[in-house]
Amino acid sequence: MTKTTDLVSSTQEITKEALHKLGFDDGMYELIKEPLRFLEVRIPIRMDDNTVKTFTGYRAQHNHAVGPTKGGVRFHPDVNKDEVKALSMWMTMKCGITDLPFGGGKGGIICDPRQMSNQELERLSRGYVRAISQFVGPESDIPAPDVYTNPQIMSWMMDEYSKINRSNAFAFITGKPLALGGSLGRNRATALGAVITIEEAIKRKNLDIKGSRITIQGFGNAGSFIAKILHDMGAKIVAISESYGALHNPDGLDVNRLIELKEQHGRVTHLFDDVITNEALFEVDCDILVPAALSNQITEDNASKIKASIIAEAANGPTTQEATRILTNRGVLIIPDVLASAGGVTVSYFEWVQNNQGYYWSEEEINHKLRNKMVDAFNKIYDLAEDRNMDMRLAAYVLGIKRTAEATRFRGWA
C-alpha cells in the first residue's frame, strides 16, 4: 500500500467517524468518501527540441454542495490519482473549518518543472487549462498555486481561460500577481495562518511566544516564512531541516541569515558541517514542533521521542493516526493540518471576492480578516474537542464536514 493510498484511506476513516458523530448515516459517507468528479486528461506539448511529449493531468472536485470547488494545482513527478483525491477532500475540510462558501478541489500534472524551460512550462500550463476548461470557472471550480506552481503559472492559466471565454476572467484562479488581480498578503498567508493557530494554542497551554523553543521540519516557502514570523515575535528557532539534513542550536538559530543563504543557494543545510539527521530532529528538546514538509513523518515509531507540547501541522498529513493517538494521550496539543494550513485557501477566498467585486483591500485589512477566521476556527475546534472528549483532528473533521453534509442533505443528494 502506497503512502498516498494510506492518506486516502485514513482520510476516509476519519470522515466516516466525523459523519457518524454528526448523526449522518452510511449513505452520506458513501457519497462524500470520494470526489463527485475526477478528471484525467492527456496534454500534448511541443518541447523546445521540437519533439512532442504527452503529460498526464488530473483535477478532482470533491463536493460542490456549498459552492464552487477550490484548490491548488501542483506540478510534480510524483503526482498521482490518490494524492489528488485526498488533497481535494482536505480542501473541503479546510473550507468548512474557516466557513468559506467552497467545496474542495485539487489538481496536478505529472512532470518535473525543474527540468523544463520557461517556454515549456507556459505551454503545459495553457494546455492543462484547455483540457479542463469545460469543467472549471469562477462559479464552478477555482484553481490556485501549489507545489512547484507560482504566480507566473497562475497568470498563464488565467490568460488561457480568458482567451477561451473572451473575457478578463480574473476570478477564475487565485494566487495571481498583484498586477493581474492578485491579493496582498497571499504569498505568506499559509504561514501566517499557521502562526495564528500557534498563538492560540500557546494561550491554551499557558505559555508565552517570547522565548518559546521551536523546531521546524521543512524550510521551504511555508517553513521559512513561519520561522521568520515566529522569530520576529521573539520565539527561539532551535532547529530547522531540509531533505538533506537538519541544523540545531539550543540557543537559537540565526533565522535571518539562513533565509539569506536560502535565497542565494536554494537550500542551506549543505553549507554547514554540524548537521544532524532528519530523524534526530524529532528528538530535539523544544516547546513547539512544526512539521512543514512531507506526509507521514510522525509515526508510532518516533511519536514517543517527541518532546514538544504543541505540534502545528503546516504540512499535509504529517502525522499518522496511531501517532495522533499516542501524542494526544500524552497531552500533546496537535493543531491538525486542515486547520493549521487553512490560511492559504482563506486568503485565496479573499482574492476571489476582490476579483468579483472589483475592489481591493489593504494588506492590514486582509491580515485582520485572516486572523478573525483562524482564531474563530481554532477556538471552535478546541472547544469541540474538549466538550466531546475527542482529539483535535477528529474535532476539525466534524466541524469541517458539517456544512457540506448538511448542504448535501438539503439538496436531496443523500
> Domain for residue 402, yes or no?
no
Active site residue 85: no
- The pLDDT value recorded for residue 4 is 57
What residue type is assigned to position 208 of the chain? Answer: D
Same domain? For 158 and 228 the reply is no
Contact 258, 225 (CB under 8 A): no
pLDDT, tens digit, for every residue of 180-210? 999 999 999 999 999 999 999 999 999 999 9
**Is there a binding annotation on residue 205?**
no
CA neighbor of 346 nearest in space, from 172, 177, 157, 99:
99
- The pLDDT value recorded for residue 210 is 95
Quote the CA–CA distance of 92 and 84 in Å, as a whole number: 13
Contact 98, 374 (CB under 8 A): yes
Same domain? For 195 and 162 the reply is no
Q: Across the strands, what pairs with 236?
A: 213
**Is there a binding annotation on residue 70?**
yes
Same domain? For 284 and 147 the reply is no
pTM passes above 0.75: yes
Q: What is the mean pLDDT of residues 42-59?
A: 98
- The residue range of the domain holding 285 is 189-335
**Is there a binding annotation on residue 21?**
no
**Is there a binding annotation on residue 190?**
yes
What's the number of domains the chain is made of?
A: 2
Give the CATH number, domain containing residue 115: 3.40.50.10860
Same domain? For 147 and 259 the reply is no
| pLDDT of 410 above 70 | yes
Q: What is the mean pLDDT of residues 348-370?
A: 98
> Which residue in the list 16, 85, 106, 262 is annotated as catalytic?
106
Q: Residues with Cβ < 8 Å from 266, sequence gap 6 or more?
A: none
Same domain? For 249 and 307 the reply is yes
- The pLDDT value recorded for residue 3 is 54
User: Which of 335, 350, 382 lies at the terminal end of a domain, its last residue?
Assistant: 335
**First-last CA distance in the chain:** 30
Q: What is the mean pLDDT of residues 42-62?
A: 98
Average model confidence (pLDDT) across the chain: 95
Quote the CA–CA distance of 414 and 403 in Å, as a whole number: 14
Q: What is the mean pLDDT of residues 311-316?
A: 95
| pLDDT of 2 above 70 | no
